[in-house]
Amino acid sequence: DDIHGGSFSDTNYEGARWQPVAIKAGLAGDITINGDVDIAVMGTGLATDPYYVANNVDDYDLAHINLNGNVNIITPKDKTEAFYSVANYGGTININTDGTNVGDKKVVLFGNLLTMAERILSSGSSGGVNFYRDGRTNIALTNKDSVWTGVIDNTGKLLAGEVNLWLQNNATWNHEAP
């Protein structure tokens, strides 16, 4: 319970969405860091989680995190607990890219990645409950010093969001769950 921010007794919320997060953007959150980022966390490194809908705002614009410097994110290696270097529950996360153009910074990620999509998960008098918004994650590994050890995790095809990965110039992706 401690690594999930406690247990919510009436809803039994628990899991990676509720654990500590180093950098988090909620609804209308817009975080841009033009310097270096160095994170080691027993939780999630980066997360967008707008949760609610904003009228006339595209899901990808509900929350933003943009990292434009060297990036180092380390999360624990654990087969019993889900830890994410990047978790996107809606909005857009860009690392070493603006989504179109790539940078030349060193990016080191140790941890899995999760990007969700908006779907109505249950119906009721309100017509349905959405727990996620459409998420887009863009990561550019563009030099020999850049490495990601992790996998793209999801809760199934129906809830899989958009992930764009640039892997070039001898960068490495160790496709294994830490």
Residue 87: name the closest of 35, 23, 31 by CA.
23
At 82 the pLDDT is: 85
- Which pLDDT tens digits describe the chain residue by residue (178 residues)? 455 555 444 455 556 787 889 999 998 899 999 999 999 999 999 999 997 778 889 999 999 999 999 999 999 998 888 899 999 999 999 999 999 999 999 999 999 999 999 876 555 544 455 678 899 999 999 999 999 999 998 778 888 999 999 999 999 999 998 8
End-to-end, the C-alpha distance of the chain in Å comes to: 22
Q: Which two tokens stand for residue 79?
A: 């087969």
pLDDT of residue 125: 46
pLDDT at position 4 is: 54
The answer to whether 86 and 138 have CB atoms below 8 angstroms apart is no
pTM above 0.75, yes or no: yes
- Please tell me the predicted confidence (pLDDT) of residue 11: 53
Q: Provide the pLDDT for residue 1.
A: 46
Nearest Cα residue to 65 out of 20, 15, 115, 118: 115
Q: Which pLDDT value is given to residue 2?
A: 53
Total residues belonging to the chain: 178
CA 4 to chain centre: 17
- The amino acid at residue 153 is D
**AA identity, residue 43:** G
